[in-house]
Amino acid sequence: MTLTMLVAAAVAAYALGYSLLCFISPFGPCRRCDGTGNHISWWDKHRARTAPAAKPKRRIRKPCRRCKGTGARLRIGRRIHNHARRLHADGTR
């Protein structure tokens, strides 16, 4: 087996695994709020990392804007799938 075939097989296996993950679990945790749904300011996160002995303030001011407070986001692969399905449906009408 040549190196290019090995790389192609690895890429195909990764793509198949990711598409299966997007099919089974289309939502992943929000990166901005770490899946909590609550916005924590960057200063509070910084204080929690630099001074672990200090009790971090957990003042929740508002829900996360990126996920609208749900704590979940639609995976990129699922967005691509939804777009392709919508494009196909619009083109065959």
Q: What is the mean pLDDT of each run of 10 residues along the chain (93 residues)?
A: 93 95 92 82 68 59 84 92 94 87
Of 63, 53, 3, 61, the C-alpha closest to 33 is 63
pLDDT score of 34? 82
pLDDT score of 51? 64
The tokens for 9 are: 């097989």
- For residues 66 and 89, what is the distance between their CA atoms, to the nearest angstrom? 28
pLDDT score of 11? 97
Query: Could you tell me the pTM of the whole model?
Result: 0.64
Torsions phi, psi for 64 (to 5 deg): -65, 135
Instruction: Identify residue 37 by its one-letter amino acid code.
Output: G
